[in-house]
A and B are shown apart, each in its own frame.
Chain A
C-alpha cells in the first residue's frame, strides 16, 4: 500500500506534447479512475506511472520515493492490460508465478501465494490450463491474479473490462470493487466508460486533451462539473447547453426566446448583463404540471427505453434532450412545457469554459 503523487507531469512524443502538466495526489488505498474520451492521454498517463514510457518533465513518486528514472520492475507496481497480456505458452499457474520466480521467491512461498490468489479469484480448477482455453472473464481474472500474487504497492488497470461483453463487464466491475475493499491496495484504473468510473472510483480524474479537467469524487464531478468539457462528458444523455444572458439584477437568466429562468439564492450579480452558458441535465428537466410558462420544447423524436423516455426536440433554435421517468406517450411534433429546479442549473463562462459558482 502506498500513496502516489503526480506533479506537473508532461509527456512529449517528438514535438507533440500529449500530457500537459497533470498533477494529482492519490492517497493510500484509494481507488482512482482516470476517465476520458479516446485520445485524451489517459492510457499514456497510466503508462508513465507504470514506467513503460519515460516522463518528459515533472515528478512521479510512489510511497514517497521518486520513480522518474526507475524501470517498471523497480516501481513495485502491477498492471492489468487491456488485452490481458497473458503469456500464451504458460499455464495459468506459471503466468501467475512468473513475476515471483523472477524475484527469486522460495518455491513454497510462490505456491502458497498463487494458490491463495487462485482461491480468491475462483481459478483453483484452472491452474493447469493455457490462456487460450479460458473464457474472457477467466482470462481477466488470471490477469488480476498475476497482479495480486505480487502484493505490489499499486495496481494499474488499463481499460481491463473493454473486451468483455456487457453482462460480464458489470459482474467483473463489482468483483474488482470487492477485491479492492478486501485488499485495500492503491489502484489506478483507466477507462472511457463513465458508468465504470462512477461505480468504481473513490475519486475520478477526468482527462481532456492531455490535461486533468477535474479531479473529484464521482458525485462532485456529476453535481458540480468544473467546466463545459466535464459537464458534457459526464452523464448520459449529455447535458443540454443553452445560450443565455444574466438579467440586470443578476438573479434571473434570459433565454433567447425571451424566457425567464430564476436562479437560486442570490444569483450571480457579478455577471449581470453578461452572456453565460446554461447547462441543464436531461434528467433534471420535468414537465411543468400544466402551467404555460416554462421552457417550451417542440418534440422532434421520442425514444422509449422502458425505464425512461428520452425526448429530443428544440427550444427555439437550440437542441434539447429531456429524460422522463417511465414510459411517456408523447406525440411527435407536440409541444411540452418544461421546467428545471433552480438548484440543478449549471452556469459556465462562454470564454473560459469554466463553471460559474452561484
Chain B
C-alpha cells in the first residue's frame, strides 16, 4: 500500500513544490519554449527586427549539406564514444571483479576521471596531444606517426572521441562492476562444473545477465555523447578542422552565438530536443521493459 501524506492546508503543498517548479520553469521550460518560438522566426544579426517564417529554418537546416554533415559527424562520434567507453569499462570491470589484491585502490583510481569536468578533461587531452608541446604527440612522432589534430580531421575525431570516452569509462565501470558483483558466484561455478572455460562463462552467463545494465548504459552514453561533450569539443578542436568534429551541440552554439543565426540555431536545438525525447522514450518504453530474462 502506498502511503500518502494528506495536507489539511490547501496552499502548503503547492508552496512546498513551488521552488522545484520555479527552477524547472525558469531553466528548462522557458528556454525550451523560447527556442521553439525562435525556431519559427528569422532575426537580423543585431536583433532589431524579426519575422515569422513558418518552417523555413527547418527546411534550411535539413537541406544544408553542412548540417547533414554535422549530423553524420555526431552519429560517428556518439557511437564511437559509446562503443569505446562501454567496451573498455566492461573489460576493466571484469578485471576488477576478478582482482583479489589491491582491488579497492584499483577501483578508486578508475573512478577518478568521472570527477574531472569535461572542459578540464578536454584541456588535459589537448595538451597531451598538442602537436608542438604534447608528450604523446612527441612520442608518436618518434614512432613515425605525424600527429597534428589541428590539420588532420581523422586524428581530431580520434582525439575528441578518446577524451570524451575517457571520462565516461569511470561511470560505466561502476555500473558494470556493480552488475557483475550482483551475479551470484554459484552461476559461474555451476558453469565451470558444466565445463565452460572462463571465456565461455563470461559470454554465455555473465554477459547476458549484464545486458540490462549494458542497454541502460548504451542509452546514457549516447545521450552523453550527444549533449554533454560540448566542453570537450570546445577545449580541443572547436569543431575543426574543417568541421570534422563539428557535432550538433557545438554547431548550435557556433551558429547561434558566433555566427548569430538565432533562428537556424534555435531550429537545430528543437531537433536536438526531439532526439532527447526519442531516446528517453526508447529508454523507458522498450529497454526497461524488454530486457528481462
Contacts and interface: CB of A to CB of B under 8 A. Distances in A.
Contact of B195 (A83, A85, A89, A99): A99
Contacts, number: 58
Interface residues of A, number: 23
Contacts of B192: 52, 71-73
A39 interface: no
Contact of B209 (A83, A89, A98): A89
Interface stretch (B106-114, B182-190, B251-259, B270-278): B182-190
B65 interface: no
A103 B195 contact: yes
Contacts of B15: none
A49 to B, nearest CB: 11
A28 to B, nearest CB: 21
A78 B193 contact: yes
Interface in A116-166: 130, 146, 150
Contacts of B204: 98
A85 B186 contact: yes
B194 A99 contact: yes
Contacts of B187: 85, 87-88
Given A89-B293, A130-B293, A98 B191 contact: yes
A319 B196 CA distance: 55
A102 B190 contact: no
B188 to A, nearest CB: 9
Nearest to A99: B194
B193 A79 contact: yes
A102 B191 CA distance: 10
Contacts of A83: 184, 186
A50 interface: yes
A324 B208 CA distance: 57
Interface string A260-281: 0000000000000000000000
Contact of B189 (A78, A85, A146, A150): A85
Interface in B54-108: none
Contacts of A50: 189, 193
A72 B293 contact: no
Interface in A191-249: none
Given A83-B184, A87-B205, A89-B208, A102 B196 contact: yes
Contact of A73 (B186, B196, B205, B209): B196
A337 to B, nearest CB: 54
A250 to B, nearest CB: 55
B194 A85 contact: no
Contact of A102 (B184, B195, B208): B195
A73 B195 CA distance: 4
Nearest to A94: B204
* Most chain B beta carbons < 10 A, residue from A72, A82, A150: A72
Given A85-B184, A89-B208, A89-B209, A72 B200 contact: no
A77 interface: yes
Interface in B148-189: 184, 186-187, 189
13 contacts: A79-B190, A81-B186, A83-B184, A83-B186, A85-B189, A87-B191, A88-B293, A89-B293, A98-B194, A99-B194, A130-B293, A146-B194, A150-B194
